Structure 1
Amino acid sequence: MKTARIRHHGEVVNVEVLEDLSVQLENGEILSEESVEWLPPAQGTMFALGLNYADHARELAFEPPKEPLIFIKAPNTFTGHNKNTWRPDHVDYMHYECELVAVIGKTAKNVKREDALDYVAGYTLCNDYAIRDYLENYYRPNLRVKNRHSTTPVGPYIIDTASVPEPNNLTLRTWVNGELRQEGTTADMIFDVPFLIEYISSFMTLQAGDMIATGTPEGLSDVVPGDEVIVEIEGVGQLRNYIVSETEFFKTV
């Protein structure tokens, strides 16, 4: 089952998502994917991972981390499927990051690894764009790199865990204007979802709606205004967005 949040006639509603990405309202009315304003499907805190794929760490000439490198995303960084995001004016390098996101379904504190997946409501995708110009420390990206308004598309929906029986063996891909630029597998994650839930819940309390964005594999490249970017995870879905300039984006916000 797939569920999403959309804005319909000015109100935020929860809907079921059908196979063709149309959505069904509670009254039975069906809306096409293109007619829907998609919102991020979860509303909690996002815990994001740095250098959580061994191939990506090698790509950047770093030793794989010995413990998770976690940072938090501000809620206003999120945007939805099929929406615009923006490249800051006068920067040299902005890249995509295709990531599997585990969505927490209930309060989790001091959870053991073997029980961790019982606390997952489902999975979604995110594209955690990074502004490489401001990256001073790969181990702890500063706010200018990862926490800009509407620069983290999330969605389109949450797919239930029963539909993703092997989250640690999924292919991730990113296309830019139809060109495949990134391909990897969640099997290369250094710290998998059960480990991360155990680790985070050992010192924090995870709440329903919180998200764990699990990092990205190698294969990053620059994106510019005019680009269409699609991130895809096998068995989970596709998330699309469009890059515009900073000036164009803030004319309409």
Structure 2
Amino acid sequence: MIPFKKWFGGNQRSEEQISHIDAENIPNHVAVIMDGNGRWAQKRGLPRIAGHHSGMKNVKRITMAANAIGVNVLTMYAFSTENWKRPKEEVEYLMKLPLEFFPKEIEELIANNVQIRMTGWQEGVPDYTLKAVQDAIDQTKHNTGLILNFALNYGSRKEMLSGVKQMAQDIADGKITAEAIDDSVFSSYLLTHPLPDPDLLIRTSGELRISNFMLWQLAYSELWFTDLCWPEFTEQHFYEAVTEYQRRARRYGGL
């Protein structure tokens, strides 16, 4: 039985669910596509940005839930390379969220030994956004607990193409040989290196696709989808996903 940590505001239902989680079979890396913020807001007659604000607050709740059961890496798909196509006002609001989130939550994240990282391209991201993220990375770099990794301005096809181009250059420069390239070598050219591949992918909002997210890394991940929009996805739902993960047999193509 995993001890339930009261510091993230759990309730009796959470305690019951967490008690059924097998402490010997916790997913090492959980990736989350936080989808449905805008739809959640529109259903309530609110502007889309209100959904993004509620979604931001949910990041800490799920981070603490993951930390409570011993997840080592939690990657949140915060902004994709395709999200630049959204209305300018919405993109500008999304880029300002780190300025609100990190100053408000950083002390509790540090207190719980959480380490912040970012996976994605800095090009095009406003300087104030990058500074807020980098400050959080610097403030938590000595923490040794859960890695909270934000996929910001990230797209998997671009990531793989960039990796292939760099490998080709390294072959031309004599740094590696084509014969030496295997799964491990290829993975080392990806933005997620040296993080382990996700064991579990969670996607909210009812969409049944992975939307250019970690296409290489998710090859053998367990996928868990829910119709709930991200702002209404709770600690209990997170534990449901982990419990379902533990019911599955991961054979990696074997018997």
Q: TM-score range by the shorter chain?
A: under 0.3
Which structure shows the bigger proportion of residues in strand conformation? 1
Higher helix share: 2
Q: TM-score with structure 1 length normalisation?
A: 0.23
Bigger Rg over Cα: 2
